[in-house]
Structure 1
Amino acid sequence: MTYVKAKSNSAFSPVRDPIDRHPLHIGIVLLVGGQSKRMGCNKQLLPWRGKTVLDAVCGALHCGWEDYVKPAEFCKLPFVAVTGNDHEKLEPIITSYGFDVVRNEHPEHGQGLSIAIGVRYLVENSPIPLDGILCSVGDQPLLTGNVVHQVISAFSENFHSKTIIVPHYGANCQSGNPVLFGSHWFDPLQHIQGDQGGKTIIRGNGKDHVIKLWIRDDIGCDIDTPDDFERLKQRESEAL
């Protein structure tokens, strides 16, 4: 794997696919179908900055994508969110940020199924052929539009259909989300199973094509337990 620094040119120069599109066409799959078993309640609906955790994530994804390319260039946003439980509560929030919404009727089968549903939806319904898909999670409230923009820009700068961009946060370089997969991985993403999700590819056949993007700020934390949320609440005022 190769490290690149955020906001800088990488020394890594893969052979580029024969594509001349500027900007590249990037879709987003937002995963909000988890069962939140350890949390005990739907973590996407927890209060955050006067709204919800889900609002914070959707806002960051929308802002970061807009910073990369103006939506006016597309007839619709290539965004989809995959829900599970609490679909009726999540849908109005998600659609207010321009996402389509599809429901995973079997969230107990793991994150892999939600990724497969979301990727398949974009491949079949995007009005434009996509060069990459950004996979994000709905419980990362410190995510910023700047991080999303940097992930997309790193993909563009190191473009190949097999490229995978994985952000690593803070001094400890902790890997996290969102992860951007080139189009080569669209078919494998539609066939992954279990709770490992995209890690199946990142640690498997895609390992040699992963580029680690270092994000200086330690803002990649997600919420799994009530203790996680309490720790993050102490940082709620960051970046305001």
Structure 2
Amino acid sequence: MEYKTCESAPLGGALSREIPRIGVVLLAAGQSRRMGNNKQLLPWRGKTILDAVCHALQVGWEQSNSSWNLEAYPMVAVTGGDHDIDGIASSYGFSITHNSRSDLGQGTSIALGVQYLVNTFGTHSLDGIICSVSDQPLLDSMVIEKLIASFQQHRDETNRTIVVPKYGPTQHPGNPVLFGAHWFEALQHIEGDQGGRTIIRGAGHNFVEYVSIIPEWGFDIDTPEDYNDLQHRESEGV
């Protein structure tokens, strides 16, 4: 398949006012050890938790990139090869790549996803990439729109800007995170389970911008207790 990609405009000047071209990496190869079974496939609002996350990412990306004419979305789900997960993610426009080393930590999935997008769409076609986890069932498309809008406002000629959401009164940093193109090379070499935090707390520290998000949208699930809490929120209309 040939992709209709466009080179980014020359950096600098009015670029910050133009809509940036953003890709998405969805990390969906986790082991779900603390849950005991695959949390991404747990029932949620008539579908699954993975459906909810994919829908939010898809809609948020479409709302922010409607002028970018592509035959395929620059979105990839990094999975462990589970047929059901692959099918759900692909139904929302995600390409699929498999991580056979997911037991080595989240960093391997980030590296594979970024590498896939860079190789598929070209080094200069993306201004940034959003890295998202797959266990935030209350994620809203507005989070994606806010990340991209903040990146558009704050990016400079080096595309070093990193946008991190902070949730609720505690302003706890969370996911998803948008990394400017300057960090693509570093992202392709992340190892272990620290993920993008190695960049955010390290070389990228001075380039981080934060956006405030309501706490519900950042709720993630790791344990059966978390899932019970999620169902309680739904039954109580929280």
Please say whether Structure 1 and Structure 2 have the same fold, judged by a TM-score greater than 0.5. Answer: yes
Greater helix content: 2
Cα gap change, 1:237 to 1:69, in 2 (>3 Å): farther
**1:57 equivalent in alignment to 2:53:** yes
Show the 5 A alignment for 1:194-233. Answer: 194-233=192-231
Residue in structure 1 matched with residue 107 of structure 2 by the alignment: 112
Which has the higher relative contact order, 1 or 2, with Cα contacts under 8 A spaced 6 or more apart? Answer: 1
Cα gap change, 1:172 to 1:41, in 2 (>3 Å): same
CA RMSD of the aligned region, Å?
A: 2.0
Q: CA deviation at 1:235?
A: 2.3
Cα gap change, 1:17 to 1:72, in 2 (>3 Å): closer
- Does the Cα contact within 8 Å between 2:78 and 2:97 map onto a contact in 1? yes
User: What amino acid is aligned across from residue 212 of structure 2 in structure 1?
Assistant: W
Give the unaligned 5+ runs of structure 1.
1-15
**Secondary structure of 1:40's aligned partner:** coil
Show the 5 A alignment for 1:115-154. Answer: 115-126=110-121, 129-154=125-150
Moved runs in structure 1, 4+ residues, more than 4 A? 237-240
- Does the Cα contact within 8 Å between 1:170 and 1:219 map onto a contact in 2? no
Q: CA deviation at 1:17?
A: 4.3
**Secondary structure of 2:108's aligned partner:** helix
Task: Give distance in 2, aligned partners of 1:17 and 1:218.
Answer: 36
**Secondary structure of 2:216's aligned partner:** coil
TM (norm. structure 2) is 0.89
**Secondary structure of 1:136's aligned partner:** strand
TM (norm. structure 1) is 0.88
Match of 1:87 among 82, 85, 97: 82
**1:178 equivalent in alignment to 2:176:** yes
Task: Give distance in 1, aligned partners of 2:82 and 2:149.
Answer: 32
